[in-house]
Each structure stands twice: as C-alpha cells, then as structure tokens.
C-alpha cells in the first residue's frame, strides 16, 4: 500500500484525465494541469482506439462511454485520393473491434467522466521544471501526459 495520497498530472489532453482516474482508483487524488487556458472542445480529427486501449478505459470506468461515441472497425482499407484501393488491414483475430472516433468526442467523454468522478482540471497552468519543484511539496508524484 502506497503512502502517496496526491499527484499532479501534467497535460489535460487524452491521457491526462485517464491517468488521473487510474490514480484515483489506486487511492491517490490527482489534479490535472493543462497549459491552455481553454478546453480543446471541438479540436482535432479522427483517430482509432485498439482493443487494448478500450480494455484500459474499462479499468477506469470510461470504456462504455467511449464505445458509445465510436464506430466499431473490423478492418481498415486504404485508398488513394481517387478511391483506388492500395491496401487492407484485417482486424485482430479473437479480439473485439477497434473503435474509430472523432478526437473531440473522445476528449469530451473522457473529460466529462473525469469531472463526474471528482477529478479537478486547472486550465492555463503550463508547468515548468522550476514550478514543478514547488508543487511537488504538496504532491510527491508528478506524471507527464503530454506529447511535447
């Protein structure tokens, strides 16, 4: 059993709220710090979540909500700009389908779920190493969930 009770999660994109939810399940209260002053609602294109990603979301209780905003994808067909078929990727044998979805929907569902579970997100809080050192006095774990 860990003695750690609080944590900082840096980056409120896709991984941030999920990380905070996972910490919460482990009995650690996490606050998400996001650099942008506003949410990223409505920003982004399409992406796919594989079965292992959906299984991970099930662990934090967000799997069904994410499935509900995605389309099951059993195979992928690639075409060129004129529609000519150039490749096909089958689904993964013995596993449920991946889910194709819009990033804004995924973002919204994950943030709504985290908020409903009591995970706070602070916007306009770009974290830097020096700043982290002071914050760490309050929270001994810091997790960076960003692609910077």
Which chain residues interact with ligand FAD by CB under 6 A?
Answer: 10-16, 33-36, 40, 43-45, 47, 103, 126-127, 145-148
Q: Which residue is nearest to ligand FAD (CB)?
A: 13
Q: How far is the CB of 111 from ligand FAD (least distance, A)?
A: 11
Q: How far is the CB of 94 from ligand FAD (least distance, A)?
A: 26
HSE (CB half, 13 Å, CA atoms) of 66?
Answer: 29
Q: How far is the CB of 128 from ligand FAD (least distance, A)?
A: 7
Decide: 96 and 3 in contact? Cβ < 8 Å: no
117 vs 146 by CB, closer to ligand FAD: 146
Dihedral angle of Cα 108, 113, 118, 119, to the nearest 10 degrees? -60
89 vs 93 by CB, closer to ligand FAD: 89
41 vs 88 by CB, closer to ligand FAD: 41
Q: How far is the CB of 110 from ligand FAD (least distance, A)?
A: 9
Residues in CB range of 8: below 8 A, 6 or more apart: 30, 31, 33, 127, 132, 135, 136, 139, 141, 142, 143
């Amino acid at each position: 059993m860990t003695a750690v009770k609080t944590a900082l999660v840096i980056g409120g994109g896709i991984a941030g709220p999920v990380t905070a939810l996972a910490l919460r399940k482990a009995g650690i209260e996490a606050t998400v710090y996001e650099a942008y002053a506003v949410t990223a609602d409505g920003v982004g294109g399409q992406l796919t979540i594989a079965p292992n990603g959906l299984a991970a979301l099930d662990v934090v209780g967000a799997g069904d909500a994410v499935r509900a905003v995605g389309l099951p994808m059993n195979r992928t067909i690639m075409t060129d700009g004129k529609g000519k078929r150039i490749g096909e990727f089958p689904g993964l044998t013995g596993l449920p389908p991946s889910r194709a979805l819009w990033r804004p929907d995924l973002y919204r569902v994950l943030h709504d779920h985290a908020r409903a579970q009591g995970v706070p997100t602070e916007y306009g809080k770009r974290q830097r190493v020096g700043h982290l050192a002071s914050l760490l006095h309050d929270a001994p774990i810091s997790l960076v969930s960003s692609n910077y």
